[in-house]
Amino acid sequence: MAGLAASFGSGAMTNAICELEQSDTIFIIGSNTATSHPLVATRIFRAIEKGAKLIVADPRKNQIANFAHLYVRHKPGTDVALLNGMMKVILNKGISDDKFIAENTEDFEAFKQVIDKFTLEEASNISGVSEEDIKNLAKVYASADNASIVYCMGITQHTNGVNNVKTLANLSMLTGNIGKPGTGVNPLRGQNNVQGACDMGGLPNVYTGYQSVTLGDANKKFAKAWGVETLPTKIGLTLPEMFSGIENDEVKAIWVMGENPVVSDPDANHVKKALEKLELLIVQDIFLTPTARLADVVLPGVSFAEKDGTFSNTERRVTRVRKAIDPVGESRQDWAIIQDVSNAFGYEMNYESPEEIFDEIADITPSYAGISYERLEGPGLQWPCPSKGHPGTPFLHKDGKFTRGKGLFHAIDYRPPAEKTDNEYPYLMTTGRVYAHYHTGTMTRNSESLDFEIPEGFLELNPADAQELGISDGHKIKMASRRGEIKTKVMITDRVEKGVVFMPFHFEETNVNKLTNPAYDPIARIPEFKVCAVKLEKA
Amino acid sequence: MDYRNTLTTCTYCGCGCNLFLESLDGRLTGTIPCKTGPVNEGKLCIKGWNVHQFVQSGKRLTKPLLRKNRKLEEVSWDEALDFIASRLKHIKAADGPDAVGFFASAKVTNEENYLMQKFARAAIGTNNVDHCARL
Amino acid sequence: MIDTIKQKISGLLSDASVKGVVALKTANGHVTPCVFQKEDDLDMLSLGDMQASGDTRYPLNKVLITIARQYPDDVFGVLVRGCDERGLYTLYRLNQLDPDKVVPIGFCCPEELAKACECKKPYPDDPVAGEKTKEIFQNRMEEIEGMDISKRFSFWMDQFSKCIKCYGCRNICSMCFCRECSLECEDLVSKGSLPVDIPVFHLTRAMHMADRCIDCGLCEEACPSDIPLRVLYKKTSRIMNAEFGFTSGIEKQEKSPLSMLGPAPDN
Ligand code: SF4
Ligand code: SF4
């Protein structure tokens, strides 16, 4: 998100999901689309049926890669090298969109210098993809009339995550594939309301609609709307900074709403220790998750089926959530819980319904200003929707008019991932999802059909590695990184190449995040889930 | 007899598929994909089709819990709320507003995320708000 | 047409001959399956035509089964097209619904929809509204049948390999009511990874539907991967017809040839 915002002025998916059907080339990188965003895969399958070309780059050969016109398996963490290689080819062959670059972008020269220095040979050596394939990737992408880029956590969950994203933005601007239907750079949000959590100011530096906490105007506006004298102007701590803050005795209390960091965060043992150290841990959830078990106080909220409200999906579409049944037991509406705490604390809140809260949001958030529950009957609205009559915005940056003014090229050199393999830890492990589960499994593993489908975690291992280790399908294996160790079942498959293993992260019994590396991207603060060195041993 | 289909949005991935939660006499009985949902057009993935199942799980929390003598015990809402309010006041007074942090969530609604950061910023006075979506 | 149907439902509700009528309504800007219990609510009645005829059809028989299991002694009306009526007949045969407890309210599909469905019988036996259109020829199947065998094989394998194992084809189907499903039997289909086992997954379902599928097409409309499932099942049903002279749901008191396989029942 930070990467796209820096390049274009907005961090959201640039185009609508259904527009993928209008693309004539789709480039998927670091997204297991058919598993993680199945209904996006639907549109991609349709585009292929209509004759579009699909190109896929992923260390793991996932389902949708089988439909690719060209699939390349690059080494985990080498995205920038591969992409810069592609751009080298595009510049060499003179198939860039020079008019678009001249009219709508800036800092192209600095970017070009980096690419000029880089060679195709280096790109190939680093990424493990042949020069021929890199050339082909470049040609197919650059020669399309409308080319879309689709990416997910495979791009962002690296110490270089922000650079990876900026590099994708470079690629789209270099070929003018942005600002029209069926093009763009499209991050698929991993979780249902990530977009909404960000839009609503669930970030340390901004209020709703990305209005900065440090700028006088927004700060004053919000102070007035919320009836307080002043609001803090110092940017707050990010999640990893809060964890360090706990260690340094600066942070004493944490309130966790609906999240399960003990399972979802890297280096789980460390997270657990930090939370245990707190003076006050408040957890608001619907299940007694491993995180809730550490709490001083646990507040029972309700599930989406028991509440009214809105979600904002990955294409910035705001849609309604409606209450289907009454809350179970004495559980309470999550908004009411916050209001109750606030009133007990001494800051008065008197909302009668989520709709009243939404109207307040629309009042102080320009991109949501035209949205109301009434207008959300029907298909919903895509923000920005600045006024009551505005139809919403399916794709951003129309005709090269970027949200930030001009699109910004970034000069980005390849940097290797934070963790390398060595003699002791010779395998690269990457993590991801399986089709029947979601996130830390709190919900899906309490669903009988989904639990039946995939009841436990497993490690994907290449047949050649399995032979070397003398292990067969379904057997147990011990896997350790520099931070922890787990035991798990093995699934032998050539979806992963030799030397690389894959493990889904939904299972608390085989919590792969005991192993993952908490090294963060310096800007987006996203940990490096996707690359971690491990050793394997028959258990 | 009270049979209903409630139109809502899937709580799992970021596609945001529209679906009906089917209920009979106040209990969820199934999920039906919405044909006119702009993203999913009458289709769902395996998670969406089963999204009603976890809701009525016997493992749901039904009462507030408070740690007493190192164990979590069921307490009344009033007790839980008073405890939180007094602890937060104490910590804010002793260590300043920035000693408190908030994890917003990709799993709750916009309205709820909004309210949490409003509480953090206006009531506690800190910008220590972040969400787990980086993860 | 909709007014005639409203009148019919209104009549059934006012003389209390049914406890409710399973149908469709427009709410929240969308078409929704529902049960009408009050005449006043009938303003919201929809026949499932949002932009095109029949584009928002839902498995109303499935809704009826859910309700009938809970309220076995009550009589319910249900809105039916030709395919839904074939569904009712099949569900009577399979003991999932009691014909004495169901009042079908039938209407005919317009030619436009019948063509899109390539429907053999786009009308119920005894329609309350609409004109009966004639049987439509099954072009899509002929097209695929026309491919030579290796091409046809790879066509289907390519289609099946798009499957994301959502089970939507089964879940949406009114004829799928088994508590234990063969698609979840690990001796037939392995669990846990994608792509799903092909062609076993899809052919297992096709076999199981051989004497049940009533060609409503809801499975194909629910398939996120646009697999032409309806054509596959049309083919199975054509084989049933050629071998046994049987088409499921065409006659009210039918017997399936498949139910006569194996040892003869005692009675
Ligand atoms: S049904 Fe599947 S694809 Fe749709 S929002 Fe839910 S999890 Fe995502
Ligand atoms: S509906 Fe389509 S994708 Fe889903 S299980 Fe059936 S064939 Fe597979």
The interface predicted TM-score (ipTM) is 0.96
3-state secondary structure labels for all residues of C130-186? CCCCCCCCCHHHHHHHCCCHHHHHHHHHHHHCCCCCCCHHHHCCCCCCCCCCHHHCC
Nearest CA among C88, C108, C112 for reference residue C100: C88
Distance CA A185, CA A196 (A): 19
Provide the pLDDT for residue C267: 46
Let me know whether C143 and C254 are in one domain: yes
Question: What mean pLDDT comes out for the span A468-487?
Answer: 89
Let me know whether C143 and C112 are in one domain: no
Residue-wise pLDDT for A144-160, tens only, equals 999 999 988 777 776 67
Tell me, what CATH number does B8's domain have? 2.20.25.90
What sign results for the dihedral spanned by CA atoms C196, C200, C206, C211?
A: negative
Q: In this structure, what are the phi and psi dihedrals at residue A66, rounded to the nearest 5 degrees?
A: -65, -15
Provide the pLDDT for residue A525: 60
Provide the pLDDT for residue C102: 96
Parallel, antiparallel or unpaired: strands A53-57 and B71-74: unpaired
Provide the pLDDT for residue A527: 65
Highest mean predicted confidence (pLDDT) among A265-269, A466-470, B109-113, C47-51 = B109-113
Residue A405: count of CB within 10 angstroms of its CB: 10
What would the DSSP string read from start to end of A308-368? Answer: -EEEE-TTSEEEEE---SPPSTT---HHHHHHHHHHHHT-----SSHHHHHHHHHHH-GGG
**How is domain A2-188 classified at the architecture level of CATH?**
3-Layer(aba) Sandwich (3.40)
Q: What percent of chain C has pLDDT over 90?
A: 63
Asked whether the predicted pLDDT for residue A105 surpasses 80, the reply is: yes
Domain of residue C178 covers 139-259
Provide the pLDDT for residue A531: 78
Contact A409, A108 (CB under 8 A): yes
Distance CA C64, CA C48 (A): 17
Q: Which of A340-344, C152-156, C179-183 has the lowest mean pLDDT?
A: C179-183
Work out which ligand 2 atom sits closest to the CA atom of B43. 1
Choosing from B55, B82, B99, the residue where a domain stops is: B55
Q: Is residue C90 part of a domain?
A: yes
Q: Is residue B47 part of a domain?
A: yes
Q: What percent of chain A has pLDDT over 90?
A: 56
Q: Give the residue on A whose Cα is nearest the Cα of C183.
A: A453
Provide the pLDDT for residue A402: 84
Provide the pLDDT for residue A6: 83
- pLDDT band at residue A1 using 50, 70 and 90 as cut-offs: low
Let me know whether C105 and C216 are in one domain: no
Provide the pLDDT for residue A377: 94
| Structural tokens at position A123 | 């790109």
Write the DSSP symbol of residue A78: -
Let me know whether C17 and C111 are in one domain: yes
| Structural tokens at position C264 | 């003869």
Provide the pLDDT for residue A524: 61
Nearest CA among A203, A75, B25 for reference residue C70: B25
Residue-wise pLDDT for C241-250, tens only, equals 888 888 888 8
Let me know whether B74 and B36 are in one domain: no
Distance CA A52, CA A69 (A): 9
Q: Tell me the average pLDDT of chain A.
A: 89
Nearest CA among C106, C128, C125, C74 for reference residue C252: C125
Q: Give the residue on A whose Cα is nearest the Cα of B38.
A: A379
Distance CA A514, CA C155 (A): 45
What does each C-alpha distance from C187 to A411, A491, C191 come to in angstroms? 55, 18, 10
| Structural tokens at position C218 | 């809801």
Domain count, chain B: 2
| Structural tokens at position A268 | 């789980």
Hey, which of C156, C167, C221, C226 would you mutate to test ligand 2's pocket, going by the most ligand atoms within 8 Å of its Cβ? Answer: C167
Let me know whether B7 and B48 are in one domain: yes
- pLDDT band at residue B90 using 50, 70 and 90 as cut-offs: very high
- Residues forming beta bridges with residue B45, ordered by sequence position: none
Question: What mean pLDDT comes out for the span A225-249?
Answer: 92
Burial class for C141, CB neighbours closer than 10 Å (0-12, 13-18, 19+) = middle
Let me know whether C147 and C251 are in one domain: yes
Burial class for A66, CB neighbours closer than 10 Å (0-12, 13-18, 19+) = middle
- Residues forming beta bridges with residue C21, ordered by sequence position: C36, C77
Q: Is residue B87 part of a domain?
A: yes
First to last CA, chain A: 40
B40 compared with A404, residue with greater pLDDT = B40
Provide the pLDDT for residue A521: 63
Question: What mean pLDDT comes out for the span A207-235?
Answer: 92
Provide the pLDDT for residue A520: 64
Residue C68: count of CB within 10 angstroms of its CB: 22
Provide the pLDDT for residue A419: 79
Provide the pLDDT for residue A448: 84
Hey, which of C227, C232, C233 would you mutate to test ligand 2's pocket, going by the most ligand atoms within 8 Å of its Cβ? Answer: C227
Q: Which of A79-88, A118-127, A257-266 has the lowest mean pLDDT?
A: A257-266
Contact B2, B26 (CB under 8 A): yes
Domain count, chain C: 2
Best mutation target, C26, C32, C158, C162, to test chain A (most A CBs within 10 A): C162
Choosing from C83, C117, C151, the residue where a domain stops is: C117
3-state secondary structure of B100: strand
Let me know whether C70 and C111 are in one domain: yes
Q: In this structure, what are the phi and psi dihedrals at residue A450, rounded to the nearest 5 degrees?
A: -75, -40
Query: Which residue's CA lies nearest to atom 7 of ligand 2?
Result: C163
First to last CA, chain C: 46
Residue-wise pLDDT for C30-54, tens only, equals 999 999 999 999 999 999 998 888 9
Nearest CA among C44, C38, C43 for reference residue C13: C38
Q: Is residue B73 part of a domain?
A: yes
State the alpha helices, DSSP H only, in B5-58: 46-49
Which residue in the set B14, B36, B119 is minimally distant from A189, CB to CB?
B14
Q: Which chains touch C (3 or more CB pairs under 8 A)?
A: A, B
Question: What mean pLDDT comes out for the span A181-198?
Answer: 86
Provide the pLDDT for residue B135: 41
Distance CA C4, CA A299 (A): 53
Residues of B in contact with C55 (CB under 8 A): 35
Contact C161, A66 (CB under 8 A): yes
Residues of A in contact with C226 (CB under 8 A): 42, 45-46, 49
Q: Which chains touch A (3 or more CB pairs under 8 A)?
A: B, C
Contact between chains at C30 and A378 (C-beta distance less than 8 A): yes
Our CA dihedral for A465, A467, A473, A478, rounded to 10 degrees, sits at -60
Q: Is residue B28 part of a domain?
A: yes
Residues of A in contact with C191 (CB under 8 A): 452-454
Contact between chains at C224 and B43 (C-beta distance less than 8 A): yes
Provide the pLDDT for residue C138: 76
Parallel, antiparallel or unpaired: strands A297-300 and A280-285: parallel
Provide the pLDDT for residue A340: 97
Let me know whether C154 and C214 are in one domain: yes
Residue-wise pLDDT for A438-461, tens only, equals 777 778 888 888 888 888 888 899
CA distance C134 to chain B (A): 27
Could you tell me the distance, in angstroms and rounded to a whole number, from the CA of residue A287 to the centre of ligand 1?
21
Domain with CATH 2.40.40.20 in chain A: 427-538
- pLDDT band at residue A517 using 50, 70 and 90 as cut-offs: confident
Let me know whether B45 and B79 are in one domain: no
Q: Is residue C81 part of a domain?
A: yes
Q: Is residue B60 part of a domain?
A: no
Work out which ligand 1 atom sits closest to the CA atom of C224. 3
Q: Angle, nearest 10°, between helix axes C229-244 and C200-208?
A: 50
Asked whether the predicted pLDDT for residue A526 surpasses 70, the reply is: no
Provide the pLDDT for residue C259: 73
Distance CA C141, CA C158 (A): 17
Let me know whether C102 and C197 are in one domain: no
Provide the pLDDT for residue C262: 57
Asked whether the predicted pLDDT for residue A363 surpasses 50, the reply is: yes
Nearest CA among B110, B102, B128 for reference residue A205: B128
Residue-wise pLDDT for C168-191, tens only, equals 999 999 999 988 888 888 888 888
Contact between chains at B117 and A201 (C-beta distance less than 8 A): yes
Domain of residue B86 covers 65-131
Nearest CA among B122, B130, C167 for reference residue A255: B130
Contact B100, B88 (CB under 8 A): yes
Centroid of chain to Cα A169: 16
What would the DSSP string read from start to end of A273-293? Answer: HHHHH-SEEEEEESB--TTGG
Let me know whether C147 and C249 are in one domain: yes
Let me know whether C156 and C245 are in one domain: yes
Q: Which residues of C5-32 are buried (b: 16+ CB within 10 A; e: fewer)?
A: bbebbbebbeeeebbbbbbbbeebebbb
Let me know whether B74 and B33 are in one domain: no
Place of tokens 């040979």: A121
Q: In this structure, what are the phi and psi dihedrals at residue C56, rounded to the nearest 5 degrees?
A: -125, 55
Best mutation target, C171, C186, C193, to test chain A (most A CBs within 10 A): C193
A528 compared with C81, residue with greater pLDDT = C81
Q: Is residue B120 part of a domain?
A: yes
A267 lies within 8 A of chain B by CB? no
What is A194-391's CATH topology? Rossmann fold (3.40.50)
Q: What is the CATH number of domain A427-538?
A: 2.40.40.20
**Amino acid identity for residue C96 in this structure:** Q
Choosing from C87, C117, C147, the residue where a domain stops is: C117
Domain with CATH 3.40.50.740 in chain A: 194-391
Q: Tell me the average pLDDT of chain B.
A: 93
- Residues forming beta bridges with residue A285, ordered by sequence position: A300
226-265 in chain C: CB under 8 A from chain B: none
What does each C-alpha distance from A464 to A423, A469, A472, B74 come to in angstroms? 18, 9, 11, 53
Q: Give the residue on B whose Cα is nearest the Cα of A449.
A: B50
Let me know whether B42 and B97 are in one domain: no
Q: Which of A305-314, A438-447, C60-69, C96-105 has the lowest mean pLDDT?
A: A438-447
Query: Which residue's CA lies nearest to atom 3 of ligand 2?
Result: C163
Asked whether the predicted pLDDT for residue A291 surpasses 70, the reply is: yes
Provide the pLDDT for residue C190: 84
C190 lies within 8 A of chain A by CB? no
Any residues with CB less than 8 A from the CB of C124 and at least 6 apart, and which?
C80, C81, C82, C84, C85, C104, C106, C107, C108
Let me know whether B84 and B116 are in one domain: yes
Best mutation target, B8, B40, B114, to test chain A (most A CBs within 10 A): B114
